[in-house]
Amino acid sequence: MIPQVKTICIAGAGTMGAGIAQFVAQAGYSTILFDIDTAMLQKASAAIEKSLETLLTKQKISATQKLETLKNISYTHKIEELKGELIIEAIVEKLSIKQEFFNKVAANNSEQTIIASNTSSIPITQIAANISHPHRVLGIHFFNPAPVMKLVEIISGVETNQTIANFCKELIQGMGKTCVMAADSPGFIVNRVARHFYVEGLKIAEENIADIETIDALMENSGFKMGPFKLMDLIGVDTNFSVTNSIYNLFHQDGKFRPSRMQQQKVDAGHFGRKTKKGFYTYE
């Protein structure tokens, strides 16, 4: 049985989690945003309000729509308050942490609650392996910035009930997104294809064939809205590096997915991109 979705819970108040929360709240759903770090919740609240104010200034939404969206969102650091018909996880990209989180959430909700991961690369089958009623576990993968980017991947694991996957596709499309169905393969569709956009750009820079500004300018003049280095800074250099590592290992260290030493150095230095004001570029 598929529940009527009234409340959608988002776990993880980082860039992606906050963006997803804003999106579903704008679509009119009661939204609960969870994070164990109250400082992250405060930061997410401020970011959502700023984003909505920007949309209001650009006349993309009305003042009433802004107020209604803010009313639809509540914030909590208590995992037991995460109760709804659909739960979307956007926490750290580590399998054991995701499984531990979902087991706690499953214990607090009914068997009908749909459990989804926003993972960029971890197979849904692995995430669902130790969770009760794995047929209701699937991937709902948004892209950054979540309120703006139209594409969403709906990923079915081996145990995922196809009726539930189809329902989630219709649900998200009803909110205004374009959904594609994907099989449970490392990186799914977009991150598998896009990995070489980043990896080859990094290799060209590492080999001193061209500098990062030239590589970005070349790709942008070829039709891409952003070059690989600007896009990594926007996504988060640390997040992008984590996904590359995950896909590299899931493909049994296939050389074409090898993580970059140059990117590793940025992560080690804490230069994560726009969110730290310094990445491949410096942001004032």
Q: Which of 51, 109, 117, 191 is catalytic?
A: 191
Residue 256 and residue 123 in one domain: no
Tokens 């998200």 label which residue?
Answer: 172
CATH of the domain at 230: 1.10.1040.50
Residues 200, 157 share a domain = no
Report, in angstroms and rounded to the nearest whole number, the Rg of the chain calculated over CA atoms. Answer: 19
> What letters, b where the CB count within 10 A reaches 16 and e where it falls short, cover 241-258?
bbbbbbbbebbeeeeebe
Stretches in the chain below the pLDDT threshold 70: 1
Q: Is residue 231 part of a domain?
A: yes
Task: Look up tokens 């150095």; give the residue.
Answer: 265
> At 104, which CATH number?
3.40.50.720
Specify whether the CB–CB gap between 274 and 234 falls below 8 A. Answer: yes
User: What pTM was computed for the model?
Assistant: 0.89
Q: Find the domain containing 229 and state its range.
A: 191-276
pLDDT of the residue at 2: 77
Q: What is the pLDDT of residue 3?
A: 73
Instruction: Say if 2 falls within a structural domain.
Output: no
Q: Same domain for 13 and 91?
A: yes
pLDDT of residue 284: 84
Q: What is the pLDDT of residues 26-68, one digit of tens each?
A: 999 999 999 999 999 999 999 999 999 999 999 999 999 999 9
Q: What are phi and psi of 18, to 5 degrees?
A: -65, -40
pLDDT at 1: 63
| Ramachandran assignment for 141, one of left (phi > 0), alpha (psi -120 to 50 degrees), beta (any other) | beta
Catalytic site residue 156? no
191 catalytic, yes or no?
yes
Which residue in the list 121, 153, 240, 260 is annotated as catalytic? Answer: 153
**pLDDT for residue 42:** 97
pLDDT computed for residue 121 by the predictor: 87
Report the Cα 257 to chain-centroid distance in Å: 21
Is residue 162 located within the same domain as residue 195?
Answer: no
Q: What is the total count of domains within the chain? A: 2
Please tell me which residue in 120, 240, 242, 260 is annotated as part of the active site: 120
Kindly compute the dihedral angle of the four CA atoms of residues 49, 52, 53, 55, in this order, to the nearest 10 degrees. Answer: 160
